[in-house]
Amino acid sequence: NEQVVVRGNAAEPLTSRQRTLVIALAVVVALTRLLAVSHSMWDWDEALFASALHHYDVAQHHPHPPGFPLFFALAKLARTFVYDDFHALRAISTLASLFIFPAMFALARSLRFRFRTCLIAALLLSFLPNVWYWGGTGFTDELALVTALAGVALLLRNDRGRWTYIAGCILFAATMLVRAQNVLMA
Q: Per residue in 98-157, pLDDT tens? A: 999 999 999 999 999 999 999 999 999 999 988 888 888 888 899 999 999 999 999 998
For residues 162-183, give the mean pLDDT: 91
CA distance 133 to 140: 12
Compute the distance between CA of residue 27 and CA of residue 19 in angstroms, rounded to an integer: 12
Q: Mean pLDDT for the chain?
A: 89
CA distance 27 to 123: 12
Cβ-contact 140, 71 below 8 angstroms: yes
pTM listed for this prediction: 0.88
**Residue range 6-59, pLDDT digits in tens:** 545 667 889 999 999 999 999 999 999 999 888 888 888 888 888 888 888 888
